[in-house]
Amino acid sequence: MDEYARRHGQDAVTALDEVLATYLEWEAEDYREAVEGIRRGYADFKAGRTKPADQVLEELRKKYGFLC
């Protein structure tokens, strides 16, 4: 952390605060995106926009050449 702080012209505490704040922002955005994805998936499920798992797996096998 000391090297990072020196490279950015900061003391270690300020640099750590900056790194931690950036990480927490990333975590919050990741969480929001996950929740939104789940909401969309649930809405698709409720509206009947789904496929059977065996069909999806077969499509993936064909597309990517999976052997299993």
Residue 45 has pLDDT above 80, yes or no: yes
The type of residue at 57 is L
Looking at residue 4, its pLDDT comes to 79
pTM: 0.64
Residue 34 has pLDDT above 80, yes or no: yes
Residue 32 has pLDDT above 90, yes or no: yes
Residue 68 has pLDDT above 70, yes or no: no
Residue 61 has pLDDT above 80, yes or no: yes
3-state secondary structure 11-57: CHHHHHHHHHHHHHHHHHHHHHHHHHHHHHHHHHHHCCCCCCHHHHH
